[in-house]
Amino acid sequence: MNVLLAVLRKDLLIEWRSRDRLVAMLVFAVLVVVVLYFAAPPGQEETARAHVPGLLWVAWVFATVLGLGRSFALELENDALSALALAPADRGWIFLGKALANVILVTTVQALSAVAFALAFGLDLWPVAGRLACLAVLGAIGLCSLGTLFSAMAIRTSNREVMLPLLMLPLMVPVLLGAVRCTQQLVATGELPWSPLQLLLVTDGVFLIISFLGFEYVLDE
């Protein structure tokens, strides 16, 4: 637990000082909102609104991939990753610290870009804000758990920018399926459907366990 907190604190402090990942992810997510706003055919605002839940997750997923790509870049300078790998603890705790820092970053971007979506498409998300926030966090956990593992795997490859989305996106289908279905129904009816929520919860659990256990080997040379 000490190691988790130390890594989390370190990642957030470095991000707070540079803000480079947060700004890049946020600009990307807002750009997606702008593009989609102008892409919506005039006079069909209602149809566009129906697609907002799916579009939200499109923006969030790609912003997450962008942020995760940089997650281990800060560990490469001065080979700081070796110092983490030398820590006398199960390396799964290092994974949890980094994944949690990524979840915090992604949920910040999700919150701010959801406001941009609501304003651009005239949606009133306020009545479902609490449940939407829970869904966003659950989705972020799914994306960031396996994403953090793959980011660590990709960082030592020569073409890491290509490797991360190639490894990550195909396996994110169950997370996206669950999250998008839940968000669609939540925005439309104000209710959370149990079946896709179950899929999201189970996928999060499985991804977390696999990544926690796999991280020990990923940090080996």
Instruction: Name the DSSP letter for residue 41.
Output: P
Q: In this complex, which beta carbon is closest to other proteins, that of residue 20 or of residue 192?
A: 20
204 HSE (CA, 13 A, CB side): 18
For 59, residues 6+ apart whose C-beta sits below 8 A from its C-beta are 28, 29, 32, 33, 113, 117
C-alpha to C-alpha distances, 127 to 54, 67, 131, nearest whole angstrom: 19, 29, 9
Enter the tokens of residue 204: 């999060």
Q: How far is the CB of 39 from other proteins (least distance, A)?
A: 38
Q: Out of 73, 83, 202, 209, which residue is the one contacting other proteins (CB under 8 A)?
A: 83
Q: In this complex, which beta carbon is closest to other proteins, that of residue 42 or of residue 88?
A: 88
Do the Cβ atoms of 168 and 68 come closer than 8 Å? yes
**Which residue stretch of 12-20, 133-141, 168-176, 201-209 sits at the interface with other proteins (rule: CB under 8 A)?**
12-20
Tally Cβ neighbours within 10 Å of residue 116.
19
Q: Out of 2, 44, 157, 198, which residue is the one contacting other proteins (CB under 8 A)?
A: 2
Q: Out of 90, 131, 201, 210, which residue is the one contacting other proteins (CB under 8 A)?
A: 90
Q: In this complex, which beta carbon is closest to other proteins, that of residue 5 or of residue 111?
A: 5
Q: Does 23 bind other proteins (CB under 8 A)?
A: no
With CB under 8 A as the rule, give the number of residues binding other proteins.
27
Q: How far is the CB of 100 from other proteins (least distance, A)?
A: 15
Residues 63-82 that bind other proteins (CB under 8 A): 74, 77-80, 82
Q: Out of 50, 85, 201, 210, which residue is the one contacting other proteins (CB under 8 A)?
A: 85
Q: How far is the CB of 107 from other proteins (least distance, A)?
A: 22
Task: Give kind and range of the element (H or E) at residue 142.
Answer: helix 129-154
**In the chain, helix, strand, coil percent, each to 5?**
85, 0, 15
Q: In this complex, which beta carbon is closest to other proteins, that of residue 14 or of residue 112?
A: 14
Q: Does 221 bind other proteins (CB under 8 A)?
A: yes
Q: How far is the CB of 105 from other proteins (least distance, A)?
A: 15
Do the Cβ atoms of 11 and 98 come closer than 8 Å? yes
Q: Does 220 bind other proteins (CB under 8 A)?
A: yes
C-alpha to C-alpha distances, 194 to 134, 138, 181, 202, nearest whole angstrom: 14, 14, 10, 12
Which residues of this chain interact with other proteins, rule CB under 8 A?
2-3, 5-7, 9-10, 13-14, 17-18, 74, 77-80, 82-90, 220-221
